[in-house]
Amino acid sequence: MTALGIFLVFYLIIGALDWVGIVGDTASALFDSNYLDASVALGLYLVRHVLLYLGLSKFLIDWTNTGR
């Protein structure tokens, strides 16, 4: 459980850094009127987090079982 806790903390730290990074990058790109860079950065951010969501939702939660 301790190892899992450490893993979760690392996961959240990486997630936080990723989010702060994307907010900063997008904001600076928008201030420079570089809309293409901003959209690409946002798109890639969404893709990686949707894939993470897919993995987690498929393998960690049994959506079909509501009354075990």
Partner 1 sequence: MMTRTTRPPFIRKKYAISIIITFLVVVDSYAPSYRWKSFSKRSSLAMTSTRSTSKPGTEVKITKSLSANDPTYIQWSRQKEIWKMQTAVTTFRKGDQTVELHAQQHYGDADYFRYWNSEDEFNNRQDSVLFELLVDDELLEYKRGNWCVTQPIMASSNDQLFAQNLGLQCQASIIDYTNPKWSHADLSRQEFAKLATEKNKEKTNTGSESLDYNNTPLWKLASPDSSSTAAEAVAALMVGPPSLNYSTQNARKRRLFTNLFLPGGQLAFALRAILWMTVPAPELSIILLDWSSLLQGGSNPSALSEVALPILTSLVKFDLNQMRRFLFGQVVMSSKSNGSSNGKDASTSWNLLVIDRNDHALSVLNRKLEEKDVNSVALLYGVRNTCFISSTVLRTNKTYSQTLFLVIVLYDRVLIAPIFTTNLLRWDFNQRRRHGGRHGPSKIVLLLRQMMKTKRRG
Residues that bind partner 1 (CB under 8 A): 3-4, 6-7, 11-12, 15-16, 18-20, 23, 42, 46-47, 49-54, 56-68
Min. distance of Cβ 25 from partner 1 in angstroms?
13
Phi and psi dihedrals of 65, rounded to 5?
-110, 105
**Residue (10 or 32) nearer to partner 1, CB:** 10
Closest contact distance (angstroms) between CB of 34 and partner 1 is: 18
Handedness of CA 64, 66, 67, 68 (dihedral sign): positive
Instruction: Report the distance separating Cα 42 and Cα 22, nearest Å.
Output: 7
